[in-house]
Amino acid sequence: MFNSASSVGTLLGSIMIGFGIPLGLLALVGGDTFALARNAILGAVAITLVISGAGLLALRRRITMFLRHLSLIWLTLLTLVCIWATSQEPLSHTFAATMAAIMLIAFAIIPSRRVIWYPSVLIPAALISLALQPGMNPETVAMDALLALGTGAAITWFVRSAITAETDWLTGVRNFAGFERATTVLLRDSKPGEPVSLCRIDLDGFSLVNQRRGYDAGDDALIAFTSELQSLLPPTVVLGRIEGDAFALLFPGQTSGQAQDLLEAVHPSVMSFTTGIAMHDADESASELFGRAGIALYDAKRAGFGRTSIHGGYYASVSAVQQGIAQGEFYILYQPCVDLRSGRAVGAEASCAGTTPLAARSPRSSSSLSARPAGPSRPWANGCSSKPSQRRRSGTTPNPRDSSRSAWPSTHPRVS
Which CATH number does the domain housing residue 258 bear?
3.30.70.270
With respect to residue 248, please indicate whether it lies within any of the assigned structural domains.
yes
For the ranges 161-165, 350-354, 384-388, the lowest mean pLDDT is seen at 384-388
The per-residue pLDDT for 166 is 78
Strands of the 273-279 sheet, one edge to the other: 238-243, 246-252, 196-203, 273-279, 308-311
With respect to residue 415, please indicate whether it lies within any of the assigned structural domains.
no
345 and 220, same structural domain?
Answer: no
Task: List the beta bridge partners of residue 240.
Answer: 174, 248
Residue with more model confidence, 403 or 47: 47
Structural domain for 368, as ranges: 318-407
206 and 162, same structural domain?
Answer: no
240 and 224, same structural domain?
Answer: yes
Q: Is the pLDDT of residue 351 over 70?
A: yes
Residue with more model confidence, 146 or 240: 240
25 and 123, same structural domain?
Answer: yes
Residue with more model confidence, 125 or 137: 125
Q: Which of 166, 193, 214 is the last residue of a domain?
A: 166
Listed residue (286, 402, 390) closest to 332, CA to CA: 390
18 and 128, same structural domain?
Answer: yes
194 and 115, same structural domain?
Answer: no
246 and 142, same structural domain?
Answer: no
Q: Is the pLDDT of residue 89 over 60?
A: yes
Contact call for residues 171 and 218 (beta carbons, < 8 A)? no
| CB-based burial, 111-139: b 16+ in 10 Å, e otherwise | bbeebbebbeebbebbbebbeebeebeee
With respect to residue 306, please indicate whether it lies within any of the assigned structural domains.
yes
With respect to residue 414, please indicate whether it lies within any of the assigned structural domains.
no
Q: Is the pLDDT of residue 383 over 50?
A: no
With respect to residue 398, please indicate whether it lies within any of the assigned structural domains.
yes
Distance CA 396, CA 399 (A): 9
161 and 12, same structural domain?
Answer: yes
Provide the domain count of the chain.
3
Q: Is the pLDDT of residue 160 over 50?
A: yes
285 and 189, same structural domain?
Answer: yes
The per-residue pLDDT for 192 is 80
Q: Is the pLDDT of residue 335 over 80?
A: yes
185 and 117, same structural domain?
Answer: no
The per-residue pLDDT for 152 is 66
Listed residue (255, 248, 254) closest to 234, CA to CA: 254
Residue with more model confidence, 35 or 219: 219
Percentage of residues in the chain having pLDDT higher than 70? 70
Q: Which of 111, 141, 166 is the last residue of a domain?
A: 166
Q: Is the pLDDT of residue 357 over 70?
A: no
With respect to residue 90, please indicate whether it lies within any of the assigned structural domains.
yes
Q: Which of 140, 166, 192 is the last residue of a domain?
A: 166
